[in-house]
Structure 1
Amino acid sequence: MIEPFQTTFAVPMTCEDCVKDISSSLYKLQGIQKVDANLKDQLVLIEGTAAPSAIVSAIQATGRDAILRGSGTSNSASVCILETHSNAVSNKIRGLARMVQVGSNMTLVDLTINGLSPGRYWATVRETGDISQGAASTGGIWEALKSKVLGSQEPKEPRGVFGTVDVDEKGKGNVFLDRPVAVWEMIGRSMVVSKNKDGPFRKDDPDTIVGVIARSAGVWDNDKMVCSCSGKNVWEERKEQVGKGMV
């Protein structure tokens, strides 16, 4: 059973009717337990078990945009931006994985794909975070060797095998997975999404995407509205990300 967790989203709101509209849309989602919208700070705090991607879609259905500002508690959330290393395509960002730890050994993974060829893909965490040659330099599946149990006819599935995601004819796919791992174990490793689970991978394959898993802000850890690196506010960055295929 998935334990409830918290997420916060930046949402443009102008009045109490906005708050009611957003709250009404969110409470229609399965797994939503609490919605607390702060009109002054333009933030919506949500508690429950619904996927962050489903929450964003529900808010966007009201005609407003939403940006995930944090999830879980401090040191319990991570994110992975997934890109192709093929030179044959201009828009290299093709996916995003949001991860939040909800127990001592349980992490939820919200994986969204945008721009891959139709089909079924494997999402795996790899031994290293070396993506200099794309997925080809990431090493084997994390804990693949440890998963082989002596005396067992069928090897145990490595914890690095997260599962599959189906991509439709429009190049879009989304899956909400739970895995018996802790966030801190994955920081600095890489995630690969590919039709080939085990490899070897080709650097120039546009349908193999890879990224390094990085620590993400907890619910109360990120209140910055302007990036110190680019000088852009969160909505300017959001527009730029959407233009690159980020969702």
Structure 2
Amino acid sequence: MDSKRPSKLEFAVQMTSESCADAVRAALEGKSGVTSVTVDVRREEVLVESALTIAEVQALIESTGRRAVLKGMGGSEPANLGAAVAMLSGAGSIQGVVRFLQLSEKHCLIDGTIDGLEPGCHGLHVHTLGDLTQDCKSCGEHYNPFGKQHGGPGDSERHVGDLGNIVAGPDGRASFRLEDDQLKVWDVIGRSLVVDGGEDDLGRGTHPLSKQTGNSGERLAFGIIARSAGLFQNPKQICACDGVTLWEERDRPIAGKGRSKETPAANL
């Protein structure tokens, strides 16, 4: 399910001169998976059309020594069809960000990076409820509006929320870029995204839970899927929800403890 369809990524990048812009262009142009690059020094803005993951493009930009923050994303369609994001946290040090982009009426892009996982395969699913009052226990079952059996992403018989497996490397990081033809951004906003402890058998196993959940073990990390900015829809330099500025957030956890500017004492 790795997608080759390019998406457009809008980054804020700390730049002060044309030499900065030249360095950013040199880091991106000609790289496999990068289609086009536009740099605006005055706006401190870099627009990249690419089939790479967000993390890969960000790493290329930051290889120049300049910080980069994703501000928005879009597809090739003239209109923004919808974008969403889930900030994940959970057991131990697990944290991550997964973004959803509706590339077309039929294709949804899922791009994410999750850290702190055990190396190996982990099931990834959209769950029906965006209720985290009991952590992932209150998220409900897999999103399954058509009452089908559990399956894999490429199967016709599957839950809409069945996104298969992501793979964490030896460092505990799973970075992925998937495309799905059943998931729609407008249907999953307000629901939750959950990462499981084990591998999803995609409904092909012999365990009684195979056709229900993929027998992928306990739920490890979770987050509510919220609407996010499309291209050129995010002019803010500070996050109103936690007071973290555009550049400060690069030094803070992407989710969970330590994200807010408030001290622990102020939260009591």
Which bin holds the TM-score, normalised by the shorter protein? Answer: 0.7 to 0.9
Query: Normalised by the size of structure 1, how large is the TM-score?
Result: 0.84
| Structure 2: gaps spanning 5 or more residues | 201-212, 260-268
Identity across aligned pairs (percent)? 31
Instruction: Give the drift of 1:195.
Output: 2.6
Instruction: Give the drift of 1:201.
Output: 6.7
1:57 matched residue in structure 2: 59
1:118 matched residue in structure 2: 119
Call closer, same or farther: CA 1:16–1:245 in 2, change over 3 Å. Answer: farther
> Hey, what's the Cα distance between the residues in 2 that align with 1:38 and 1:74?
22
Call closer, same or farther: CA 1:127–1:12 in 2, change over 3 Å. Answer: same
Larger relative contact order (CA 8 Å, sep ≥ 6): 1
2:31 matched residue in structure 1: 29
Instruction: Give the drift of 1:83.
Output: 0.9
Instruction: Give the drift of 1:146.
Output: 2.7
Instruction: Give the drift of 1:50.
Output: 2.5
2:247 matched residue in structure 1: 235
Residue-by-residue CA offset, 1:144-166 (whole Å, 9 max, x unaligned): 753349xxxx9712221112111
CA contact (8 A) 2:197 2:217 kept: no
Work out whether 1:79 is the aligned partner of 2:80. Answer: no
> Hey, what's the Cα distance between the residues in 2 that align with 1:50 and 1:166?
17
Work out whether 1:217 is the aligned partner of 2:220. Answer: no
CA contact (8 A) 1:147 1:155 kept: no
Instruction: Give the drift of 1:5.
Output: 2.7
> Hey, what's the Cα distance between the residues in 1 that align with 2:136 and 2:242?
28
Call closer, same or farther: CA 1:164–1:200 in 2, change over 3 Å. Answer: closer
Q: Which secondary structure does the structure 2 equivalent of 1:55 belong to?
A: helix
Q: Residue type matched to 2:86 in 1?
A: C
Instruction: Give the drift of 1:189.
Output: 0.6
> Hey, what's the Cα distance between the residues in 2 that align with 1:67 and 1:132?
30
Residue-by-residue CA offset, 1:138-185 (whole Å, 9 max, x unaligned): 111111753349xxxx97122211121111222111111101122111
Instruction: Give the drift of 1:21.
Output: 1.6
Query: Normalised by the size of structure 2, how large is the TM-score?
Result: 0.77
Q: Which secondary structure does the structure 2 equivalent of 1:53 belong to?
A: helix
Please provide the CA RMSD for this pair: 2.7
> Hey, what's the Cα distance between the residues in 2 that align with 1:242 and 1:185?
25
> Hey, what's the Cα distance between the residues in 2 that align with 1:238 and 1:53?
13
Q: How does 1:1-247 map to 2 (within 5 A)?
A: 2-72=4-74, 74=80, 76-84=82-90, 86=91, 89=92, 91=93, 94-143=95-144, 146-148=147-149, 156-180=157-181, 181-196=183-198, 197=200, 198=213, 208-241=220-253
Instruction: Give the drift of 1:74.
Output: 4.0
> Hey, what's the Cα distance between the residues in 2 that align with 1:155 and 1:74?
27
Residue-by-residue CA offset, 1:14-71 (whole Å, 9 max, x unaligned): 2212212211222243332211111011110112332212111111222222110001
| Structure 1: gaps spanning 5 or more residues | none
> Hey, what's the Cα distance between the residues in 2 that align with 1:80 and 1:192?
10
Call closer, same or farther: CA 1:229–1:211 in 2, change over 3 Å. Answer: closer
